[in-house]
């Protein structure tokens, strides 16, 4: 889980960071709200709260970050 200071620009990546699928009209890009990389929909189906606040919104995260965040929460 590598949190970046800025989002990866849409035009900077032509393939999903995880599975390598080409982006196009039928394969839009999605930013992970944790690591801020770009992924296809298939690789960003996770939703998780990024803070421990009550009623924190669940946001779009990539599968890799979701797995890591769930493991980190379980270790607390």
Distance between CA atoms of residues 55 and 71, nearest Å: 20
What is the model's pLDDT at position 15? 93
Per-residue pLDDT at 14 exceeds 60? yes
Q: Which domains does the chain have, with CATH numbers?
A: 10-75 (3.30.40.10)
pLDDT digits (tens, 9 = 90+) for 30-63: 999 999 999 999 999 989 999 888 899 999 999 9
SS3 49: strand
pTM of the model: 0.77
What is the radius of gyration, based on Cα positions, of the chain?
13
By mean pLDDT, which of 2-6, 25-29, 32-36, 53-57 is the weakest?
A: 2-6
Q: What percent of the chain has pLDDT over 90?
A: 50
Provide the token pair at 28.
Answer: 């839009």
């Amino acid at each position: 889980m590598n949190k970046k200071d800025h989002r990866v620009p849409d035009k900077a990546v032509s393939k999903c960071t995880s599975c390598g699928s080409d982006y196009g009209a039928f394969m839009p890009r999605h930013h992970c709200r944790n690591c801020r990389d770009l992924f296809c929909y298939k690789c960003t189906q996770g939703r998780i709260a990024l803070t421990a606040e009550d009623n924190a919104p669940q946001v779009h995260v990539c599968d890799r970050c979701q797995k890591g965040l769930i493991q980190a929460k379980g270790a607390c």
